[in-house]
Amino acid sequence: MLEALLTSLDMVSTPSALGYMMIGVLLGLVVGLLPGLGGPVGLAVLLPFTFEMEAIDAFAFLLGMLSVTSTASDITAILFGVPGDSVSAALVMDGHPMAKKGRVGLALGASLSSSLLGALIGAVALAVALPFLRPLVLSFGSPELFMLTILGVTFVAALSEGALLKGLIAGGVGLIVSFVGMDAQSGVVRYAFGQLSLWDGVGLVAVAVGLFAIPELVDLAVSGRSIGESGQRAEDEVVGDEGPAASGQPQSTEVAAAAVGEAGGSADSTTPGGGAAADTLTDHGDIRGVVRGMKATLEHWALMVRCSLIGVFVGIMPGLGGSVAQWVSYAHAVQSSQRPEEFGTGRIEGVIGPGAANNSKEGGSLIPTIAFGVPGSVTMAILLGAFLIQGLTPGPSMVGANLDLTMSFIWFIALANVVAVGLILIAIKPIAMTTRIRGSLLIAPIGLLVLVGAFAEKNAMIDVWIVLVFGLLGLVMHILDWPRPPLLLGLVLGGLAENYLFISVNRYGAEWLGRPIVIGIGILAVAAIAYPLLRGRARRRGLEGAS
Partner 1 sequence: MTKRRIADLAFVAFLGIVVLYVYWEAQEWPRGTALFPVGVAIGMGALLLAQALLTVVQARREGPQARDEPIWPDIDPSLARRRAVTTSATFVVMALGVWLLGFPIGGPLVLAAHLLLVMRERLVVSALLIVGSVAAMWALSELLNIPFPDPALPFVSNPF
Q: How long a stretch of residues is the chain?
A: 547
Q: Work out which of 223, 253, 270, 335 binds partner 1, going by CB under 8 A.
A: 223
Query: Residue 190: what are its φ and ψ, rounded to 5°?
Result: -110, 135
Q: Would you tell me how many other CB atoms lie within 10 Å of the CB of residue 245?
A: 12
**Rounded to an integer, what distance in angstroms lies between the CA atom of residue 522 and that of residue 524?**
5
Q: Do 71 and 31 form a contact (C-beta atoms < 8 A)?
A: no
Site for partner 1, residues 363 to 382, rule: CB under 8 A: none
Q: Work out which of 17, 37, 106, 403 binds partner 1, going by CB under 8 A.
A: 37
205 near partner 1, rule: CB under 8 A: no
3-state secondary structure of 182: strand
Tell the smallest beta-carbon distance from residue 448 to partner 1 (Å): 5
Tell the smallest beta-carbon distance from residue 31 to partner 1 (Å): 8
Q: Work out which of 18, 54, 166, 374 binds partner 1, going by CB under 8 A.
A: 166
302 near partner 1, rule: CB under 8 A: no
Q: With CB under 8 A as the contact rule, which of the stretches 67-75, 344-352, 495-503, 510-518 interacts with partner 1? A: 495-503
Q: Work out which of 476, 513, 523, 538 binds partner 1, going by CB under 8 A.
A: 476
Site for partner 1, residues 436 to 465, rule: CB under 8 A: 440-441, 443-445, 447-449, 451-452, 455-456, 459, 461, 464-465
3-state secondary structure of 189: strand
534 near partner 1, rule: CB under 8 A: no
Q: Do 404 and 11 form a contact (C-beta atoms < 8 A)?
A: yes
Q: Do 6 and 48 form a contact (C-beta atoms < 8 A)?
A: no
The secondary structure of 431-485, three-state, reads: HHHHHHCEHHHHHHHHHHHHHHHHHHHHCCCHHHHHHHHHHHHHHHHHHCCCCCH
43 near partner 1, rule: CB under 8 A: no
Tell the smallest beta-carbon distance from residue 300 to partner 1 (Å): 31
**Rounded to an integer, what distance in angstroms lies between the CA atom of residue 234 and that of residue 175?**
35
Site for partner 1, residues 44 to 63, rule: CB under 8 A: 45
510 near partner 1, rule: CB under 8 A: no
Query: Residue 514: what are its φ and ψ, rounded to 5°?
Result: -95, 0
Q: Work out which of 49, 51, 191, 301 binds partner 1, going by CB under 8 A.
A: 191
Q: Would you tell me how many other CB atoms lie within 10 Å of the CB of residue 527?
A: 12
List of residues contacting partner 1 (CB under 8 A)? 31, 34, 37, 41, 45, 165-166, 168-169, 172-173, 175-176, 179, 183, 185-186, 188, 190-191, 214, 217-219, 221-224, 233-234, 440-441, 443-445, 447-449, 451-452, 455-456, 459, 461, 464-465, 467-468, 471-472, 475-476, 479-480, 482, 494, 497-498, 501-502
